[in-house]
Amino acid sequence: MAATKIYVPRETAAISVGADDVAIEIARQAKESGASIELIRNGSWGATWLEPLVEVEVDGKRIAYGNVEAGDVAGMFASGLITGGDHARRVGPIMGIDYLIKQDRWTFWRCGLIDPLSIDDFRAHQGFKALEKAFEMGAEAVIEAVKASGLRGRGGAGFPAGIKWQTVADATGDQKYVACNADEGDSGTFSDRILMEGDPFGLIESMMIAGSAVGANRGYIYLRSEYPLTHSILARAIATARESGWLGENIQGSGFNFDIELHLGAGSYVCGEETAMLESLEGKQGIVRYKPPLPAIEGLFGKPTVVNNVVTLASVANIVNIGGEKYASFGVNRSKGTLAFQLAGNIKRGGMVEKAFGITLRELIEDWGGGTASGRPVKAVQVGGPLGAYIPAEQLDTPLDYEAFIEIGAMVGHGGIVVFDDTADMAQQARFAMEFCAIESCGKCTPCRIGSTRGVEVIDRMVAGDQRENNYDLLGELCDTMEDASLCAMGGMTPFPVRSVLKYFAEDFSPAVGADE
């Protein structure tokens, strides 16, 4: 009888709540009971609230057990884990979990499904098929497909990827680069990480598609240092791809050369800004560059460079496979395709939900997320990381759409959704926005470097009740200056969360601004 396949994620969130201990215990119990098992360390499906999520394959069907602790394993074996037996932790077939099957898994479909470090498993799941198709289509047709897809930068800026690729392809120069931005620094976001840990070859494939389309033979991944497990998984995947002829010279006899260098960031948030990232890749301080020149013209080491976020790049394989028009048939308005939304903070069922644009915040937070973890009412939702506005509960019916969010003074960003319940002190959150900017500012421009520190001071005075009206006006003017005169989004968008608190939660500046007259 063939060994029974048991899946336990090797993924940061799962391991952070005990998946490694569970895996060790499963191996031990199997040995003791004489059960023949094959333990597979898959990526995460993104149903993080169920982690550690163990699956057992029975008759080709995977049966899930959620929130498994090492202490549960002996009992699970006793109640017939190998045959998918009943147990308090049993959730049922993985393909019966609404949270997963109601998603539009276009980009993340291999995450959770496969063994991320097995290139054979990757190949068995359409791996490198898109690259082979891209070779057949030719560079121009690939860029046209990306343009037709309407794919926009998933890192937050939302710039059309196809136009960027075209610019690099058209730029003159014998050396061009593909730089993958994996500096996923926004609080509330982890989709890049889930992808890199769950489908690293998928990212490698998409980077090669980008390289072949724009004429680059060298790729860089700039990974944040807060992701050590991701680093080891990516490093192993890159080495495996090289050993099996999927990276390096004359890839699979195609005549195409491409290799990837993996770089670690060093704890600087602003290095997620594309020009600061390029500086850091060059071994320098991560200080923002003036634009123009655009990185597409003068990027890494002064050469034309495609700078794309992990999910932007990873979306491309699917676009090549299904065609740009088909991809664009998902989503709404100018927000085409899918985004991996991440439910975080005070939420009952946190995790990742890949869904076509147009879904509302309420659907994500209530239908998927199940409301707050605390069971208390939602007070505010910060979307798009530390530079994103705090959205009040009254606006939860806003559809996830780049333009619809801009209209309400917010941004979709990288799709992180951080939920706060009614115990949150929003004045403290506004102060933190300024404080974070002061800590992380690269220091190049004055409004960001100095303005953020002054912002903290002004908010402190408001909270202390010192000349509240005057300081309220002063904070508004400071926000104007930062927005208008900062070089990049760090200083330019820190006012978004601050202004949203002033607008919707002024009463949290206790006593409320304006209440003393």
Partner 1 sequence: MTHAAFSKKAATEIIAGFGSRAEMLVQILHGFIAKFGWINDDAIRQLADELNLSRAEVHGVVSYYHDFRTTPPGQHVVKICQAEACQAMGSRELSTHATGSLGIDMHESNENVTLEPVYCLGNCACSPAVMVDGKTYGRVSTDRFDEIVASLGESN
Regarding 285 and contact with partner 1 (CB under 8 A), the answer is yes
Residues 6 or more apart in contact with residue 110 via CB below 8 angstroms: 43, 122, 125, 198, 199, 202
| Residue window 13-32: x/- pattern of binding to partner 1, with contact defined by CB under 8 A | x-xxx---------------
Regarding 429 and contact with partner 1 (CB under 8 A), the answer is yes
The residue within the footprint of partner 1, chosen from 7, 10, 43, 51 (CB under 8 A), is: 51
228 vs 514, beta carbon nearer partner 1 = 228
Q: Which stretch binds partner 1 (CB under 8 A): 135-143, 170-178, 257-265, 323-331?
A: 257-265
Regarding 116 and contact with partner 1 (CB under 8 A), the answer is no
Regarding 505 and contact with partner 1 (CB under 8 A), the answer is no
16 vs 250, beta carbon nearer partner 1 = 16
- Minimum distance, C-beta of residue 366 to partner 1, in the bound complex (Å): 16
Beta bridge partners, 55, equal 7, 64
- Minimum distance, C-beta of residue 465 to partner 1, in the bound complex (Å): 22
Taking the mean position of all CA atoms in its chain, how far away is CA 366?
A: 21
Regarding 284 and contact with partner 1 (CB under 8 A), the answer is yes
The residue within the footprint of partner 1, chosen from 55, 57, 104, 184 (CB under 8 A), is: 184
Element housing 137 (H / E): helix 129-137
373 vs 450, beta carbon nearer partner 1 = 373
- Residues 347 and 369: beta-carbon distance below 8 Å: yes
The residue within the footprint of partner 1, chosen from 267, 293, 375, 377 (CB under 8 A), is: 267
SS3 string, 146-163, reads HHHHCCECCCCCCCEHHH
CA distance 14 to 51: 5
The residue within the footprint of partner 1, chosen from 209, 213, 418, 506 (CB under 8 A), is: 418
121 vs 425, beta carbon nearer partner 1 = 425
Element housing 144 (H / E): helix 139-149
| Residue window 345-384: x/- pattern of binding to partner 1, with contact defined by CB under 8 A | xxx--xxx--------------------x--------x--
Residues 6 or more apart in contact with residue 393 via CB below 8 angstroms: 377, 378, 379, 380, 381
The residue within the footprint of partner 1, chosen from 7, 128, 330, 436 (CB under 8 A), is: 436
Please calculate the CA angle 45-412-211 and round it to the nearest 5 degrees.
70
E-strand ranges in 349-465 read 351-356, 378-383, 390-392, 416-421
CA R_g for the chain: 24
Taking the mean position of all CA atoms in its chain, how far away is CA 471?
A: 37
Regarding 266 and contact with partner 1 (CB under 8 A), the answer is yes
Mapped onto helix, strand or coil, the DSSP state of residue 190 is coil
Residue 60 has a CB neighbour count (10 Å cut-off) of 6
Regarding 185 and contact with partner 1 (CB under 8 A), the answer is yes
The residue within the footprint of partner 1, chosen from 439, 464, 512, 515 (CB under 8 A), is: 439
Q: Which stretch binds partner 1 (CB under 8 A): 33-41, 147-155, 343-351, 454-462?
A: 343-351
Compute the half-sphere exposure of residue 511: CA atoms within 13 Å on the CB side of its CA.
5
CA end-to-end span of the chain, whole Å? 81
- Minimum distance, C-beta of residue 52 to partner 1, in the bound complex (Å): 10
Site residues, partner 1 (CB under 8 A): 12-13, 15-17, 48-49, 51, 184-190, 193, 224-229, 263-269, 280-287, 301, 342-347, 350-352, 373, 382, 386, 416, 418-421, 424, 429, 432, 436, 439-440
